Amino acid sequence: MSDEPGPATTNIPDDVETPDELDPESHDSAVEEAAKRTPRGIPLRVDGLRKEFGGITAVDGASFQVEAGSLTGLIGPNGAGKSTTFNCITGVHTPTAGQVQFNGENITGLEPHEVANRGLVRTFQIARELEEMTVLENMMLAPKHQRGESVVRSVTPGLRRDVVSQEEELREEVWEMLEFFELDHIAEVEAGTLSGGQRKLLEMARALMTDPEMVLLDEPLAGVNPTLEEKLLERIHELREDGYTFLFVEHDMDIIMEHCEHIIVMHQGKVLAEGGADDIRNNEAVVEAYLGEDVS
């Protein structure tokens, strides 16, 4: 078992590694301003986000921000607008109104691939592994801007050498990542044969192979058995210590309370409360929204 997540250390964006080295290249005023107010950067800001589907308002003016290097939880009862918020942030839906900023750049309405290429990747509530491709192929797909994604480079004899050498390097990173997630023993099987929990692990591992700055996890623990759940949470903590930022949608209050340092509670499309675990536990509005559910 690997104690050190090799690829993670190499993948960390320089600008979020330590508080002192905050985003040296970006001179965006929003980030600078945020940096002044808090010791860490604010990679993600959601401002007055609104999404209507016909007559239904799924997200109704939600605003929040996520600190760099944090594990932020996003919770709320069913229909609170969590998934729609995720979809608006990642470009799956175009918001009706409001703004999403990532590293000071307005990313509202960008295509999903454009959002992902800026270092903001997501996983899905129902894992979207590529069933008829092997675990290795799934992982190798993820790295951004591979030379061999161009047909010409893949086919032309002289240029293919670069394609091969890059793939050899990536292959190494992929194996390390698979070891980190303990998926290496099933690397060569088709992803469609994996168990629910393994699919979740694969999806997270694959998302990390894009070399992201921030990962949005949409219910990463749904359908995962307790042993794997423990392992997954352990990995998330390790990665977070290495500098990744996580926004974590989860149904299970206890898990969020235990693991997230900052919690955002959504209800009926709005942000109902925000703060640490204790603030949320003692927030009457939250208790009421969860209608008697035990949040203490």
Partner 1 sequence: MSTDTEGRSRLVTDAGYIAGAMLLLYVVFLILGTLQGYPVAGIISSLQRVTFLVAVYGLAVLALNLHWGYAGLFNIGVAGFMAVGVYTSVMLTAPVGASPPGLGLPLPVGILGGMLAAALVGLIAGLPALRLRSDYLAIMTVAVSEIIRFTYNSNTFSQFTGGASGFDSIPPGPIRQLLLQDASSIISEPTPLGAAIFQFMEFSGIGWISLGRPDTINILSTLLIVVVLVLVYAFLVRAVNSPYGRVLKSIREDEVAAQSLGKNTSRFKLKTFMLGCALMGLAGIMWFGAIGQSSVYPNAFRPEITFYIFIALIIGGAGSNTGSVLGGALFAGLLFEAPPRVATILTDALGVTNAPDTIIGALGPIASGQLTPMLGFLLDNMSQLRFIFVGVLLIYLIQRRPEGLLGHRSEIAAATDLSVRPSQSKGGETDE
Residues lying near partner 1 in the complex (CB under 8 A):
1-2, 90, 92, 111-113, 116-117, 121-122, 124, 128-134, 136-137, 140-142, 144, 146-151, 154-155, 160, 163-164, 167-168, 171-172, 174-176, 179, 182, 184-185, 187-188, 190, 206-207, 210, 227, 231
Q: How distant, in Å, are the alpha carbons of 16, 140, 161, 179, 193 from that of 133? A: 33, 10, 24, 19, 10
Question: Which two tokens mark 270?
Answer: 């709005």
Min CB(100)–partner 1 separation in Å: 16
Distance CA 284, CA 47 (A): 24
**Cβ-contact 203, 218 below 8 angstroms:** no
C-beta of 188 vs 241, nearer to partner 1: 188
**Cβ-contact 62, 136 below 8 angstroms:** no
Residue type at 232?
Answer: L
Min CB(198)–partner 1 separation in Å: 12
Distance CA 158, CA 223 (A): 47
Min CB(30)–partner 1 separation in Å: 24
Min CB(161)–partner 1 separation in Å: 10
C-beta of 18 vs 195, nearer to partner 1: 195
Work out the number of other CB atoms within 10 angstroms of the CB of residue 128.
13
Q: Name the residue with tokens 């604010």.
A: 42
C-beta of 130 vs 287, nearer to partner 1: 130
C-beta of 59 vs 140, nearer to partner 1: 140
Distance CA 86, CA 122 (A): 8
**Cβ-contact 137, 164 below 8 angstroms:** no
Min CB(4)–partner 1 separation in Å: 10
Distance CA 262, CA 259 (A): 9
Q: Name the residue with tokens 């309370």.
A: 257
C-beta of 177 vs 272, nearer to partner 1: 177
C-beta of 45 vs 199, nearer to partner 1: 199
Distance CA 193, CA 187 (A): 11
Min CB(260)–partner 1 separation in Å: 23
C-beta of 185 vs 237, nearer to partner 1: 185
Min CB(74)–partner 1 separation in Å: 18
